[in-house]
Chain A
Amino acid sequence: MNVTGPDRLKKQTACSISLALLALVLALLPVACSSVDRSPATIGATPDAPEPPEAESEAPEQTPPSARPDDGGLTDAEIRALPPEPAVDAEALDLSAMTLDDLNALGPVRDIHFGYDSAALSDEARAILQENADWLARYPTVRVLIEGHCDERGTVEYNLALGEERARSAHDYLRELGVGEDRMRIISYGKEFPLDPASNEEAWRRNRRAHLEIIAK
């Protein structure tokens, strides 16, 4: 649709109103949440129950212990402190309730990709490894196998060594980021284990990877 003149102005206004509404909803959200979460306290009429903490300034560790809801759930502040992305981090994973297959299917640690005949880490790869390191820091019992893979265009023999270098690149950077060496093992599959069996640029790009497989939780 070609929006012009007053129509466009109208639309912009509508957008502004929408945004304002959204902001209002977001601002009210903690209160709404708190009224639900804290309903037992309200019903019990506990006299010294604290007021809902201010949204902006509170951090979980600053919340008084007495603020923990009776049902054992997270406090408002803890909920707000949780990072919104990725979805799997919205709440703590109960690793004991998951199989390794479930966990790997969920994919909390992500693959990184490499250039042609290269084991060098790109900025994007470093950023992903940082996320992976952060996740591993939250789950210190998790151990990973770092698999190095290559696309089909190289030779079998050299690719086995190249895959090893890719795995080692990821391993060494994660170690710099504080992941304990005893939590990581590396393995190379060369070009024996393509993620995408197709023969095109996109498949090759996907196959030149270091994959982090969770092997203990």
Chain B
Amino acid sequence: MNRRTVCLRRRPARSLAARLGVAFGGAALAAGFASPLPFLVPEAIHMEAAAQTAPGDWYLDITRPGAPVRIAIPDFTPRTDGSGAVEPSTESAETPAAAAELASVLHDDIAYAGVYRMLPRRFYSIAEAGSAEGALDYYQWESVGADILVDGDVRAEEGDLVVEVRLHAVRAQEVVFARRYRAPADARRALAHRIADDILLQAGSYQGVARTRIAFSTSREGRRGRTPGKEIYVMDYDGHGQRPVTANGSLNITPSWSPDGTALTYISYREGAPALYLAFLYQGRGQKLIGDFQSFTPAWSPDGRWIAFTSNRDGQSEIYLAAVDGSQLRRLTSHDAIDVAPTWSPNGRLIAFTSDRTGSPQIYVMDRDGLNLRRVSFEGSWNDSPAWSPSRQHSEIAYASRIERRPFDIVVHDFETRQTRQLTTGRGSNESPSWAPNGLHLVFTSNRTGDDQIFSMHRDGSNPTQLTREGRNSTPRWGSAPGPTALGGAR
């Protein structure tokens, strides 16, 4: 393990969790259970500008009006040490593999974002064949239709990978963006994701999702005892790196991310009744937050200070609000019907939820103090699991909708146009949508391939991608990439 990683591990992260620790006070922390949870170790990726760059408005310069921007990402170039001396250590032997994998993951990340047209790979060799050995020939790349070219050098250094990445505007024949990264050799994918998000942000002011993660509930670990077992897992946005957050053999469901991507709240049956728990992913620590009565479907507020959830403490399923330390409990709904599955508007002022107060489950919106209730869904006999888009551009809410007793499909209601569009059609039953932090993709559960599995898709319903295959998997929630601030600003 890289020493920088170890260093990060020891360092108390000044994340939401750390701030919570202060807010709780020592007594409250001691009172809560502190069972060890599997650790997530933040990837220690060091980044620096490698050349003078002017990020900003060059994007427009290379865009030919009316034509998509085509991007080429050939394999990175493995280098030996800067001296040029060949030193056949195991590290340098792995460098060519790393160079290929970095470019491959980067390619997939950029393609997923959908903002560029990917230049077909068969054109790479044509452009490279026409270029002088080891040289970059802008004319050759322009002749095969590339608008943007990403190239990179990779070398091994003390167990780390050091990568220099350059982004070229092909016709302008200039480097518009260059950065040097240093990361542990086993963090190739994380490094590529980081590069992808940097390129998308710098080159197109586009908030990428390559470093974001998806939490979900899975049956793959089996059970202990009579009740079914489901654990909370976390995976990268592309389905890689699936790893457990809980390991108690009980039923653990419906996770919800803290806005900074470092913690989850979820429901666990580990002590019998379904109770509200927190898991601090980078501290390997968990805590029961609300345990009396039954709690369901928690949702962390966008400002990180509140958790909305469902409880039966007053005899019916109602929506409640509690501060993240479990205090200031307040009830928001009061109706002799089911009220469940709250979701926050991006500004935190509104809460949407499901209620069957008119006889069938439908989506409603209220102010965060419980006032000003209005109904959102009018079509369908069963609408549930609302998810408010975090997008600043689109004011919309996704939910699972059923016409009569047909399977569920994911639909999106646009608050501005008051139109509802359907994203999935007729392929299994599709439910529990959750938005990517940039509001441009969704994850959801579908049984279209048999058992319930997790899929992602674009916000227009295109590019459905299966992310899980092992066990039954449900209630995915898409979380933010834990940024440097959230992880202590150590990098």
Contact = CB atoms under 8 A, between A and B. Distances in A.
B253 A161 contact: no
Contact of B382 (A158, A160, A188, A193): A158
A185 B269 CA distance: 14
A94 interface: no
Q: DSSP class of B's interface residues: helix, strand, loop or mixed? A: strand
A175 to B, nearest CB: 12
A111 interface: no
Given A117-B382, A164-B317, A157 B297 contact: yes
A166 to B, nearest CB: 11
A187 interface: yes
B294 A156 contact: no
B435 interface: no
A189 interface: yes
B384 A158 contact: yes
A153 B405 contact: yes
B234 interface: no
A148 B64 CA distance: 61
A189 B254 CA distance: 12
B310 A160 contact: yes
Interface in A192-210: 192-193
B382 A154 contact: yes
A192 B254 CA distance: 11
A122 interface: no
A76 interface: no
B382 A161 contact: no
Interface in A171-195: 185-189, 192-193
Contacts of B310: 160-161
A158 B338 CA distance: 8
A155 B382 contact: yes
A155 B228 contact: no
A153 B475 CA distance: 15
B312 interface: yes
B338 A188 contact: no
A77 interface: no
Contacts of A160: 254, 274, 296-297, 310, 340
A157 B251 contact: no
Contacts of A193: 227-228, 251
A187 B274 contact: yes
Contacts of B246: none
A156 B386 CA distance: 12
Given A165-B338, A187-B272, A192-B228, A155 B317 contact: no
Interface string B360-387: 1100000000000000000000101100
A117 B354 CA distance: 14
B400 interface: yes
Contacts of B253: 156, 192
Interface string B429-447: 1011000000000000100
B312 A164 contact: yes
A162 interface: yes
A68 to B, nearest CB: 41
Q: How large is the interface on A (under 10, 10 to 19, 20 to 34, 35 or more residues)?
A: 20 to 34
B230 interface: yes
Contacts of B230: 192
Nearest to B251: A192
B161 interface: no
Contact of A156 (B272, B361, B475): B475
B228 A157 contact: no
B156 interface: no
Interface string B291-302: 000101100000
B312 A155 contact: no
Contacts of B315: 168
A147 to B, nearest CB: 9
Contacts of A168: 312, 315
A179 B20 CA distance: 44
Contact of B360 (A117, A153, A161): A117
Nearest to B359: A117
B341 interface: yes
Given A187-B272, A187-B274, A189-B251, A156 B382 contact: no
A156 B474 contact: yes
Contacts of B251: 189, 192-193
Nearest to A165: B338
A157 B354 contact: yes
B297 A189 contact: no
Choose among B251, B361, B445 the residue with the greatest number of A CB atoms under 10 Å from its CB. Answer: B361
A27 B338 CA distance: 57
Contacts of A153: 405, 429
A156 B273 contact: no
Nearest to B340: A161
B341 A158 contact: yes
Most buried by B among A156, A162, A168, A186: A156
A207 to B, nearest CB: 13
20 contacts: A153-B405, A154-B382, A156-B254, A156-B431, A156-B445, A157-B340, A158-B356, A160-B296, A160-B297, A160-B310, A161-B310, A161-B340, A185-B273, A186-B294, A187-B273, A188-B274, A188-B294, A189-B228, A193-B227, A193-B228
Interface of B: 227-228, 230, 251, 253-254, 269, 272-274, 294, 296-297, 310, 312, 315, 317, 338-341, 354, 356, 360-361, 382, 384-385, 400, 405, 408, 429, 431-432, 445, 474-475
Complex A-B, nearest 3 residue pairs according to Cβ-Cβ distance, in ascending order: A155-B384, A157-B341, A161-B317
Given A155-B382, A157-B254, A186-B294, 17 more contacts: A145-B272, A154-B382, A155-B385, A155-B432, A156-B432, A156-B445, A157-B432, A158-B385, A160-B274, A161-B340, A164-B294, A187-B272, A188-B296, A189-B227, A189-B228, A192-B228, A193-B251
